[in-house]
Structures are given as structure tokens and as C-alpha cells.
Amino acid sequence: MNIALTVLNITAPVFILAAIGFVWVKLGFEYRVQFVTRLAMTLSVPCLVFVALMQSKVEPTALATLSFAALAAYAVIMIASFAVVRLMRLDVATFVAPLAFGNTGNLGLPLALFAFGQEGLGLAVVVFAVMAIFPSRLASGSCQAAGRCAAWCRNHWSEQRCLVASFCGRAGRRQFS
């Protein structure tokens, strides 16, 4: 029973916020997706990455190791997704990116914070930053070559902000600690 309460305490805020959003839309209130997405990707996400890395108490070597581990894990998942998509004869440009890169930000970051506290959030932000940067860097050439999701690549330019925030957060932490 104790473990069930622990899991409920960790996941309840995420599900409550999702339920609020669901009810909001069902009641017919306006929700401008383009505005919210632009606000989140141009301001909120880079600020989150910067602040989380500035406040992180995790050693820089551990963050670097985690960055390389996340990069390697995403590369393996990307290759496996590519193989499965090719094996099933599906469109690579349509299916590989969504299969390889999950919802690390919207779902993973709050869960990491509630489950592991500030230190967990700091580590999760590193994985999120890798996930935000890696797909666009790797996929932009193949997307444009395929010609089917070039618009997706052009619209997901926020990884540059995430990259800058990552470097500034780490540099600022070294400068001010």
C-alpha cells in the first residue's frame, strides 16, 4: 500500500494537469496551441534548462557522462526504430522520429522532479536537452531529402535555444559556484 501511495504522489500532479487541460478543451474554452507552443519553446524550455543546470548539484563529469549515455541510447533507439519501420515497410520519414524520440519533456521532466527532487530534474534536463538537440541535427538532412517533413524540421528550431541554455547554464554554474 505504501508503494502505491508513493507512485500516486509522484504521478498525480501530472494527471491532474492533463485532466484540467482535457476539461478546458471539452468545455469549449479557447486554447491557442500555436501561441502556447511558441511560448514554451522560445522562452520556457530554454529557461528551464538554464535554471535547472545552474541549480544542479550534480558533478559536471556525471552530467557529461549522462549526456554521452543519452546520446548513445537515442542513437541505438533511432537505429532500432529505423530497422522496425523498414521491416514493416512503413514510411521512414513519417515514423522513425516519433518512435525514437518520446515525450521526454512534457511527461518525463515533471515525473523526474516529483520522483527524485531537484537532483532528478537536473539529470532529466540533461537527457531532455540531448533529446531536443539530437533529432533535428540527425534528421534534418534526411527529412529534407525525403521532402515530407522538412516543414517539421523548420518548425522545430527551438533546439538551438535549448543548446545555448545548456551551455550557459553549465558555464554560469562554474562561474558563480
Q: Domain ranges for the chain, please list them.
A: 1-31, 38-176
DSSP label at 105? I
Give the global pTM. Answer: 0.66
pLDDT in tens, 120-135: 888 998 888 888 777 6
Q: Which residues contact 142 (CB under 8 A, 6 or more apart)?
A: 92, 93
High-pLDDT (> 90) share of the chain, %? 11
Q: What are the φ and ψ backbone dihedral angles of 16, each rounded to 5 degrees?
A: -65, -45
Cell matching residue 76:
541505438
How far, in Å, CA of 63 to CA of 113, rounded?
17
pLDDT in tens, 50-109: 888 888 888 888 888 998 999 899 889 889 988 999 999 988 878 887 888 777 777 888
Contact 48, 125 (CB under 8 A): yes
Which of 49, 55, 31 is closest to 158 using CA atoms? 49
Contact 132, 105 (CB under 8 A): yes
How high is the pLDDT of residue 136?
A: 57
Taking all residues of the chain, what is their mean pLDDT, rounded to a whole number?
A: 77
